[in-house]
Amino acid sequence: MKYIVETPKSVEQAVADLQAAVQRHRFGVLHIHNLQETLKKKGVDFPNACQILEICNPQRAKEVLTEDMDLNMALPCRISIYSEGGKTKIGMMKPSAMLKALSDSPALATIAQEVEETIIEMISEAK
């Protein structure tokens, strides 16, 4: 269900490179959550850098929601870039696996697989 790769880049550089890859693939970055910073503002010292990018392809989102509006709860796609054990990692929950748990629609399974393959390409480019 998880897809995780390591990169020799810093979290910040991997985030910048992922943002560029997202745009090249006609997706958009809706928001970036800086988990470490958010926790610090709430008085929690968390040692690991972690930035979570919410990304979306509007056309694909429309296709999914037209087929099953309930899946709005699973959108947008999220890609995490974080440090763990002195290494930088880029990961996501696989859309195909998440969708399989939420729907038995063959049309949605196809869309999820295509989106997953595209996100894996983006991650590879940012790696």
pLDDT tens, position by position, 32-52:
999 999 999 999 999 999 999
Give domain status of residue 32, yes or no: yes
Give domain status of residue 34, yes or no: yes
Give domain status of residue 39, yes or no: yes
The number of folded domains in the chain is 1
pLDDT tens, position by position, 70-118:
999 999 999 999 999 999 999 999 999 998 899 999 999 999 999 999 9
Give domain status of residue 75, yes or no: yes
Which range marks the domain in which residue 22 is found?
A: 2-122
What are the residues whose beta carbons fall under 8 Å from the beta carbon of 59, sequence distance 6 or more? none
Choose among 4, 3, 7: nearest CA to 127. Answer: 7
Give domain status of residue 13, yes or no: yes
* CATH number, domain with residue 97: 3.30.310.70
Could you tell me the pTM of the whole model? 0.92
Give domain status of residue 60, yes or no: yes
Helix (H) or strand (E) holding 93: strand 87-93
Residues written for the chain: 127
Distance CA 34, CA 31 (A): 10
Give domain status of residue 127, yes or no: no
What is the predicted pLDDT for the residue at 91?
Answer: 98
